Amino acid sequence: MSTSSLVPAPILALPWKILLLVSAIAGFGLLILYSAAGARMTWALPQAVRFVVFLTMAIAMSRVHPDRYKMAAFPTYALVLVLLMLVEALGFVGGGAQRWLDLGVIRLQPSELMKPVIVITVAAFYSSLPPAEIRRWNAIWPAALLIGIPWALVLIQPDLGTATMVLAGGMTVMFLAGLPLRLFIGGAAVLAVAGPVAFSFLHEYQQRRVLIFMDPDADPLGAGYHISQSKIAIGSGGLFGKGFLNGTQSHLDYLPEGHTDFIFATMAEEWGLMGGIFLIACFAMVIKWGIGVALDAKDRFARLTAAGLTTTIFFYVAINLMMVMGLAPVVGIPLPLVSYGGSAMLTIMLCLGILMSIERQNVRERRR
């Protein structure tokens, strides 16, 4: 009771648990970036600024009522879809793939925006669908279309990783919305059969990545280099790591992308299994919090959105870690809040902002 007099109520009302958790992850990430840059602030400083800006944005977003997001869902979706098509049309060729839209001030990556947007849109669709319709064909095709179009657009960019995440995010909401289970089981079966067929449609460099993922040591100096070096970094870290600033894999440039996609390996080399457990535990707590928010929510849109966005964060982390540990092909998914770069952080903060908005609403409803 005494604290309330010292600290203003709006600040006290902030979701401190999640904010501290996220800050812990990002703070640890800054340490890793400092080390990866060779004990320099080259990457840590811009990343810190970005984190503060995006976190402020997320807190601001938490003040917006979830219904607003529901209303904004379809227009936003349409806008991002147009941007995606624009990328295709006037796309800027960078890194062998057309992903960026140069708006002068910033380089926008619409596919990144699509990750949270697809969740909100599909959630909005199901929340407006009468419960009786859920087992009908009408409950399936509009959602399939909503997901399928951006998925296809991202896939032809080509960006297998992001396309997969868009698909997974949308499908998760469909699953949570209560579509018959046999659809998903059947879908998985079809996928198992169609997988090899789809493989033949992949770009050559993607095919190679998949094949190398199966056997990274076959060509350790070629394209399997990423996975091999990443495993060496993690494996040589041991239980407690080689010590802060003492990683050789990252500092001697053996580990490629050591500050972006493979930052987990950079971390693991210096902090060992302990550092890894810490990060995984932090992310698990974020996920647990997110699922908790979803379960607490009373409104169907809020529930679906919260669970869907949480799963999007989960996919980010899971795909990145699997890739780094040699359990998934190299698809170019960064580790959220830790990897250097703005796009992924923006996406995660959008997710967190909406999640915090839903939590805020939950608390209010409970008080009522």
Partner 1 sequence: MSWHSMRRRARPIITESNQAYTFTRRAMVLGGAQGLVAALLAGRMGWISIAENEHYNLLSESNRVQMRLIPPRRGWIVDRTGQPIAINRSDFRVDLIPDRIIDEDRIIFELTRLLELPPEEVERIREELKRAAGYQPVPVAENLDYEKYAAVTVRLPELPGVSPLRSFSRSYPEGAAVGHLVGYVGTPNKQEYEKEDKNPLLITPGFKVGKEGLEKVLEPRLRGRPGAQRVEVTARGKLVRELSTLPDRGGGMLQLTIDAGLQAFAARRLGPESGSVVVIDCLTGDILALASMPAYDPNAFTDGISQKEWKMLSQDERKPLLNKSLNGLYPPGSTFKPMVAMALLRAGIDPEQRVNCPGGFQLGNRFFRCLGRHGSMNMHTAIARSCNTYFYSMGRRAGIDVISAMGKSLGFGQKFDLPVVSQNYGTMPSAEWKKARYERSKKLVERPDWTESDTLNTSIGQGFVIVNPLQLAIMSSRIASGLDIQPHLIREKRAAPKPLPYPKEHFDAVRAGMWEVVNGHGTAGRSKLEVPGVEMGGKTGTAQVRRITGGQRGQSGAWKYRDHGLFVCFAPTAAPRYAASVVIEHGMGGARAAAPVAKDVLTWLYDKPKALASLATFEEQWGGDIKARMEAEARRWDLTNPPRPANGAT
Report the residue number, 36 or 153, with the smaller CB distance to partner 1.
36
Shortest distance in whole angstroms from residue 284 CB to partner 1: 5
Shortest distance in whole angstroms from residue 300 CB to partner 1: 7
Q: For residues 306 and 294, is the Cβ–Cβ distance under 8 A?
A: yes
Among the listed residues 321, 333, 335, 350, the single contact to partner 1 using CB under 8 A: 321
Q: How many residues bind partner 1 (CB under 8 A)?
A: 49
- The helix or strand, by DSSP H or E, that contains position 97, with its residue range, turns out to be strand 97-102
Residue 315: left if φ>0, alpha if ψ -120 to 50, beta else—which one? alpha
- In sequence order, what are the residues at sequence separation of 6 or more whose Cβ sits closer than 8 angstroms to the Cβ of residue 361? 65, 66, 297, 299, 302
Which token pair is 229? Answer: 């070096």
The single-letter code of the amino acid at 293 is V
**223-250 per-residue burial string, b: 16 or more CB within 10 A, e: under 16:** bbbbbbbbbbbbeebeeebbeeeebebb
Q: For residues 335 and 47, is the Cβ–Cβ distance under 8 A?
A: no
Which among 48-56, 109-117, 150-158, 275-283 is the span making contact with partner 1, rule CB under 8 A?
275-283
Q: Determine, following the binding rule CB under 8 A, whether residue 266 of this chain makes contact with partner 1.
A: no
Shortest distance in whole angstroms from residue 85 CB to partner 1: 32
Among the listed residues 165, 171, 294, 331, the single contact to partner 1 using CB under 8 A: 294
Shortest distance in whole angstroms from residue 219 CB to partner 1: 14
Among the listed residues 20, 106, 280, 363, the single contact to partner 1 using CB under 8 A: 280
By CB under 8 A, the residues from 151 to 210 that bind partner 1 are 172, 175-178
Which token pair is 174? Answer: 């469909």
3-state SS of the chain: helix, strand, coil percent to 5? Answer: 75, 5, 25
CA 76 to mean position of chain CA atoms: 19
Shortest distance in whole angstroms from residue 259 CB to partner 1: 15
Among the listed residues 284, 363, 364, 365, the single contact to partner 1 using CB under 8 A: 284
Q: Determine, following the binding rule CB under 8 A, whether residue 132 of this chain makes contact with partner 1.
A: yes
Among the listed residues 94, 327, 363, 364, the single contact to partner 1 using CB under 8 A: 327
Cis geometry, peptide bond prior to residue 158 (ω within 30 degrees of 0): yes
Provide the total of helices (H) and of strands (E) in the chain, helices listed first.
15, 3
The single-letter code of the amino acid at 113 is L
- The helix or strand, by DSSP H or E, that contains position 94, with its residue range, turns out to be strand 92-94
Shortest distance in whole angstroms from residue 283 CB to partner 1: 7
Report the residue number, 320 or 357, with the smaller CB distance to partner 1.
320
The whole-angstrom separation of Cα 53 and Cα 181 is 41
- Give the pairing type, strands 92-94 and 107-108: unpaired
Report the residue number, 224 or 237, with the smaller CB distance to partner 1.
237
Which among 14-22, 27-35, 146-154, 320-328 is the span making contact with partner 1, rule CB under 8 A?
320-328
Q: For residues 140 and 183, is the Cβ–Cβ distance under 8 A?
A: yes
Which among 4-12, 46-54, 58-66, 321-329 is the span making contact with partner 1, rule CB under 8 A?
321-329
By CB under 8 A, the residues from 236 to 255 that bind partner 1 are 236-239, 248-249, 252-254
Q: For binding to partner 1 (CB under 8 A), which residues are involved?
A: 131-132, 134-135, 172, 175-178, 229, 231-239, 248-249, 252-254, 268-269, 272-273, 276-277, 280, 283-284, 287-288, 291, 294-295, 300, 303-304, 307, 311, 314, 318, 321-322, 325, 327
